[in-house]
Structures are given as C-alpha cells and as structure tokens.
Amino acid sequence: MSEINYDYIAQYIRAIRPESQGILKEIELKLANNEESWPIIKPEVASFLQVLLSLQKPYKILEIGTAVGYSSILMSQYLQPGGKIITIERFDLMQRQAKSNIKKANLQDTITILEGNASDILPNLEDKDFDFIFMDCAKGQYINFLPHCIRLLKDDGILVTDNVLHKGAVAKSKYLVPRRQRTTHTRLREFLYEINHHPQLISAVLPFGDGLAVSHKIGGKNIE
C-alpha cells in the first residue's frame, strides 16, 4: 500500500519495475509472504535511488539506518570500482540480519556496519568525503543529524532523506495531527525548512513513497 499516493498509482509504478535479483529478491519475498516484517525502502524509492546513483557513480556512501541491509545492498550496485558503503544501525537484531544478508551477497569488503546509535557515531566520524548520504532512521532525529550530514558530505554530494512526509501528516495543520505525533512532525517540518533554506543546499521534497527529500550540497557558495 502507498503511504501518500493513490494506491492504484503506486501499484502501477511498482508493477512496471524490473524484478529484483538475488538477495534483494529473497528479502522482498519474505516480506511479501509475511514471513518477516523488516522495514525496507519502498520500490519507487528504490527506483529513484537507482537513477540518482547511476548518474552520480559515487565512491563513498554513508547510510543512517541499515535495517537488514536491503538498501545498502541495492546501493552497492552503483558504486565505482573499489567504492565503499558505511551504514549505521543501533538495533542488534537488525545488525545480525544485515550481516547475514551482506555475507550472502558477498559484500563484506564493500559494506561496513557501524553498530550503535547514530547520535553517538556521527559526531566521531571524520571522513568528510562522502559522495552520497542516505538518511533513513528515526525521523525525529533528522534535524539533529543534518549538520553532520552537511559536514560529512563532499561539495557536489547528494543527501537523500526518506519518510519526510510521514503519511502526509507533516503537511497537515498541526491541529489535525494526534498530539503524541506532533513532536516528530514539528521536527520533520523544521528539517524540511532547514534543507530548503540552508545556504549550502538545493533541495526538493518529492511526494512519493512516504515523502523523499533530495538535497544537493553546493559547497560554500551562497545561492541567490
């Protein structure tokens, strides 16, 4: 089911996608058969990442939110030869499953999982040379993680952030949103405001999947 689009449109877009192969297909089948309930990116988000990455041909990718390694494995197909992915995951069950999937895909030399909370790991990451960052973790943290993403991204790098519209509720008046969700939504709104007004970013918010934000880091230049 789609989060924010008409179901028939999301279903059509999903139906015309080429079939995944190997471990990606295996993960998708387990979910489709309700054998597991892992969180993975939606097919239309996967297609969009594939287009961006095949255009950009990154050498280094940072991901915040590994889950079972689905998006890391997908993104690894678009790395330059010798390229690497660093992916952060705090939940041990997910870490174990991701390691097993990455091993099955024979990608242990390409994908490194950093185990722990991104709020502890990001401030200590020193490699400021990521071409691409995919942020797909706790939505309330996006606004806190944004300065790290900007610091760690190369000039001309791309930041993609998933689930930014949270079933569309972020775009609704706060009085229509249940009180317990307001903090997350307020924080997502702050995040979306910041990426749209930051002098080093050019951003677009795309209303598919659960809302996807794409930001291009243009370096020290101010945008007129």
Ligand X SMILES: C[S@@+](CC[C@H](N)C(=O)[O-])C[C@H]1O[C@@H](n2cnc3c(N)ncnc32)[C@H](O)[C@@H]1O
Handedness of CA 50, 51, 54, 58 (dihedral sign): negative
Q: Among 2, 23, 60, 89, which residue sits at the site for ligand X (rule: CB under 6 A)?
A: 89
Please say which residue, 61 or 118, places its beta carbon nearer to ligand X: 118
Q: How far is the CB of 182 from ligand X (least distance, A)?
A: 19
Q: How far is the CB of 135 from ligand X (least distance, A)?
A: 9
**What does the alpha-carbon distance between residue 188 and residue 19 come to, in Å, rounded to a whole number?**
33
67 makes contact with ligand X (CB under 6 A): yes
**What does the alpha-carbon distance between residue 83 and residue 5 come to, in Å, rounded to a whole number?**
35
Q: How far is the CB of 148 from ligand X (least distance, A)?
A: 11
Q: Among 58, 65, 209, 211, which residue sits at the site for ligand X (rule: CB under 6 A)?
A: 65
Which among 100, 99, 104 is positioned nearest to 87, based on CA atoms? Answer: 99
Instruction: Tell me, by CB under 6 A, how many residues bind ligand X.
Output: 19
Please say which residue, 131 or 210, places its beta carbon nearer to ligand X: 210
Please say which residue, 90 or 217, places its beta carbon nearer to ligand X: 90
| Contact letters for ligand X, residues 100-139 (x by CB under 6 A) | -----------------xxx----------------xxx-
Conformational region of residue 188, where left means phi above 0, alpha means psi within -120 to 50, and beta covers everything else:
alpha
Which among 113, 42, 55 is positioned nearest to 84, based on CA atoms? Answer: 113
Question: What is the residue type of 105?
Answer: A
**What does the alpha-carbon distance between residue 174 and residue 106 come to, in Å, rounded to a whole number?**
46
DSSP state of 97: H
Question: What is the residue type of 203?
Answer: S
Q: How far is the CB of 179 from ligand X (least distance, A)?
A: 22
In terms of DSSP bridges, do strands 60-64 and 130-135 run parallel, antiparallel, or are they unpaired? parallel
Q: Among 10, 23, 24, 41, which residue sits at the site for ligand X (rule: CB under 6 A)?
A: 41
88 makes contact with ligand X (CB under 6 A): yes
**What does the alpha-carbon distance between residue 83 and residue 52 come to, in Å, rounded to a whole number?**
16
Q: Among 22, 25, 39, 129, which residue sits at the site for ligand X (rule: CB under 6 A)?
A: 39
Residue ranges in contact with ligand X by CB under 6 A? 39-41, 65, 67, 70-71, 88-91, 94, 117-119, 136-138, 141
